[in-house]
Amino acid sequence: MHRRQFLGSTLAASLLSLVGSGTAYAATAARGRLLPVPLDRGDTIGLVSPSSATDDSMGLQLAREVVEALGFKVRTGAHYDGRRGHLAGTDEERAGDLNAMFGDREVKGIVCVRGGAGAARLLPLLDYTLIRRNPKVLLGYSDITALHAAIGRKTGLVTFHGPIGAGSWNSFNVDQFRRVLVDRELVEFRNVPEQGDELVPRNNRIRTLHGGKARGELVGGNLSVLVALAGSPYMPEFDGRILFLEDVSEAPYRVDRMFSTLKLCGALDRIAGFVFGECTDCRPGDGYGSLTLEQILDDYIRPLGVPAYRGAMIGHIKRQFILPVGGRVELDADAGTLRMLEPVFQG
């Protein structure tokens, strides 16, 4: 689940290309939004593994059974059960599976089996012209952030940040899938507090960083994967966007460094609003001490003066929102909500 391999020696070179010039944001001409075709029960959904291999065949079986239980037929990528080291096959094989699913007219949607690491390796190999001609649902999160960012930047296609095929498909996630992807509702994403045996709810609480409302297109996903795209033509645009972020198993000093990167490259100064989900297992290690996540957000987000809140049900958690990346939303930082403003499907 760690993504540090994306943040190696290339990051310094990426920063040099960004600071002062802003050329990364002009690398690709801005495109209008492209909406996917509607998804109806009985359609065929493709399962692909663009990142890490699945270490247990049960995960592949569960992903298939989930899609069928949701009411769809299944088509698997030729290499969705492949392995090369930690990856689900070679870069060419994994990119080929994704391109094939977009090019297959019988496939109406694509679900990623899992995240992990490796999706960024595919970005130069994807056929963006093919994707633009065959816009369809793409669902996944974590390492799949690289695909959301690149496909959005190169084609304008609205994709969906949410559960992977081999992940948890509890009643909340199934309801999100139905409302967003099948019934095509204009959903308001609001946390469901978990009270349990407590006098007042303690889990799924939101905290307002700066009050107010903002409107814009959603951009973001996994913090470390997104930051690793800095300086590349696949980094998304941030002007007037609502940025949402999450991460897992990252020490606070690493989170601080990644926010510093977003600040130095000018991304944070361009956004209209901000939402932070969960940073699961992001505790400080041993040593002289550490900034807290709260202090990091105070340092980088509060001074922006834009509507912002944290604690949204986004990230490496069992119950998570299915967010339309590229879709227009209204953020209410006082209420802790994101509300879809426009349809995100054709027709």
DSSP code string of 120-171: GGGGGGS-HHHHHHS--EEEE-GGGHHHHHHHHHHH-B-EEE---TTS---H
Read off the pTM: 0.90
CB 33 within 8 A of CB 345: no
CB-based burial of residue 29 (10 Å sphere; 0-12 exposed, 13-18 middle, 19+ buried)?
Answer: exposed
Active site residues: 142, 246, 316
Distance (Å, rounded) from C-alpha 136 to C-alpha 108?
6
Question: Which residue, 111, 96, 117, is CA-closest to 52?
Answer: 117
Phi, psi dihedral angles at 17 (to 5 degrees): -75, -15
pLDDT at 30: 39
Which residue has 């991460």 as its token pair?
A: 247
pLDDT at 189: 98
Q: Please, what are the domains in the chain? A: 44-182 (3.40.50.10740), 192-340 (3.50.30.60)
pLDDT at 13: 39
pLDDT at 20: 34
- Kind and range of the H or E run holding 338: strand 337-340
- Kind and range of the H or E run holding 335: none
Distance (Å, rounded) from C-alpha 44 to C-alpha 307?
40
Which residue has 């663009």 as its token pair?
A: 50
pLDDT at 15: 41
Distance (Å, rounded) from C-alpha 299 to C-alpha 293?
10
Distance (Å, rounded) from C-alpha 260 to C-alpha 296?
10
CB atoms under 10 Å from CB of 90, counted, come to 14
pLDDT at 31: 56
Report DSSP state, residue 268: G
Distance (Å, rounded) from C-alpha 274 to C-alpha 243?
5
CB atoms under 10 Å from CB of 261, counted, come to 22
pLDDT along the chain (347 residues), means of 10: 42 39 34 91 98 92 97 96 96 98 98 97 98 98 98 98 96 98 98 85 92 98 98 97 97 96 98 97 82 95 98 96 98 98 96
Report DSSP state, residue 230: T
